Amino acid sequence: MDQPDLTALIELKKVKAGFAVPFNHRQIGSDYLVTNDLGDWAFVTPQELQKLVYGTIQKEDPLYSRLAKRNFIAAELDIAAQAQRWRYKNQFLFYGPTLHAFVLTARCNFGCQYCHSSIVGMHRTDTDMSIEVAERAVDMAFQSTSPGITIEFQGGEPLANWDTLQHIVEYARQKNTLAGKALTFSLVSNLSLMTEERLDYLLDRKVQMCTSVDGPRELHNKHRLYRDADGFEVTTGWMKRINERYIELGLDPNLYRVEALPTVTRVMLERPRDLVDTYLELGCRAIFLRKLDPFGFAARTSKHLGYSMEQFISFYTEAVDYIIELNRQGVQVMERNAAIMLSKIIADYEPNYLDLRSPGGAVIGQLGYHPDGRIYSSDEGRFVSSMGDEAFCIGSVDNTYRELMTSAATRALVIAGTNLSQPDCVSCTYRPYCGQQPEYNYKTQGTINGRMRDSTWCRKHKYIFDYLATKLHEADERDLAMFDRWTTNRPQEHFLQADGS
């Protein structure tokens, strides 16, 4: 993480201002990675870096054309073309929240030791979202200026409030006959309350489904407690069944399958390969290696489930090294953190992953709807609420959309979620690809603005960026083709309901 002092390489009196566009640099191996505000990047030797800073590169020098092509030579910059490119990559700034997370109930029949939500027993139907609140929440979501919205069903266990889930789907589809938005539905469930009849409905209404699998059976069941049966068997059994139904519908199994997410706990740190192998056995071709977050039960159980950031990075490195090794053997599997970051770096594409963009996704990228109608800045904002702190409650379904979007809280969160408002981020080589999460800053450092040099959020992303930069620097044509596959974006158009049908 520590970077060398450049005073021995660069003499300030020799710097030629205006030759190069503004850029940041970071040593990777024996060379330097340079990036500019547009997201362009290049690896240069110490001597090449010196020539760039001093402005002594001659036009006939191959280095000049290489850096000019990457938009590092100010005299060669096509400002109009780059402005258009910037607008395309930052188009999320020109419309409202796309993700609308509906918490249908606080009830859950699983007892996950790291649960981020405030769950209650299955008898607590008083925590269910009512039809009235659901309709008003849908009305709010449709006021977003975004041309496309996703309504995501969460909990607790959302299938426990099946009637409200169905009503939201039908009500939203009806509204969309006039709104004409690119509407999608997503279900985040442990799948234990799934039935063939419910599956028929979800498939007919094109609801995308996602679940959680925390590795091999014994580890999954240890952390995701389920008294009624073998939780691993129940969840993975329905995953296989849903994937079979996708094939029966004629959908491409390489594109349409149940997504699953693991949460990495302390006991998993020594078994990264087992986690990857479990996902491959389930037919998954992507795995999102998520660190344990400091919200909900996870904050209370961190003494026996938690670990240091350095331990996570060691785990992450071994897991992704194994994934790369598998790809070299012909097994196509990717890690989603890496894919998101590489999309920004090598594909020049903004995937709009809300936790890794600037400004971040709080309020202007997503909204979280509580069963009683309260509205939060994000999932994480709602998680903070489950710990007894309403700092990220920005209003309710009783407010107008304009009131939510123009509130003082929203303005503060947008500023806090912008990299350019962070002193350490301004000079960071990875700033064009990174982002902020004010809720994480608040929970770990007591301020939505955070202090990046002391931030575990910053440390995690900087380690991963360093890892990927090293891999790119060392990559041969085979590995570059693999990384290119990871960044290929194939839209799942089957789930779109743009015309409400």
State residue 116's pLDDT score. Answer: 63
Between the two ends of the chain, the Cα-to-Cα distance in Å is 52
**In which band, very low, low, confident or very high, does the pLDDT at 2 lie, cut at 50, 70 and 90?**
low
Three-state SS sequence of 426-440: HCCCCHHHCCCCHHH
**Which tops the pLDDT comparison, 278 or 120?**
278
Per-residue confidence at 500, pLDDT binned at 50, 70, 90? Answer: very low
Domains of the chain in start order, with CATH, are 6-89 (no CATH), 96-212+361-416 (3.20.20.70)
- Confidence class for position 296, pLDDT limits 50, 70, 90: low
Question: In the 8-state DSSP scheme, what is residue 324?
Answer: H
115-137 residue pLDDT tens:
766 688 999 999 999 999 999 99
Amino acid of residue 421: S
Q: For the chain, how long is the longest CA-to-CA vector?
A: 76
Q: Report yes or no: 121 and 170 within 8 Å, Cβ to Cβ.
A: no
Ordered DSSP codes for 75-128:
GG--HHHHHHHHHHHTGGGGS---EEEEE--SB-S-EETT--S--B-TT-GGGS
pLDDT at 293: 78
501 burial (CB, 10 Å; 0-12 / 13-18 / 19+) is exposed
**pLDDT for residue 210 is more than 80:** yes
Which residue type occupies 235?
A: T
Could you tell me the two tokens for 431?
């700033």
pTM across the whole model: 0.94
Mean pLDDT of the chain: 93
What's residue 8's pLDDT?
A: 79
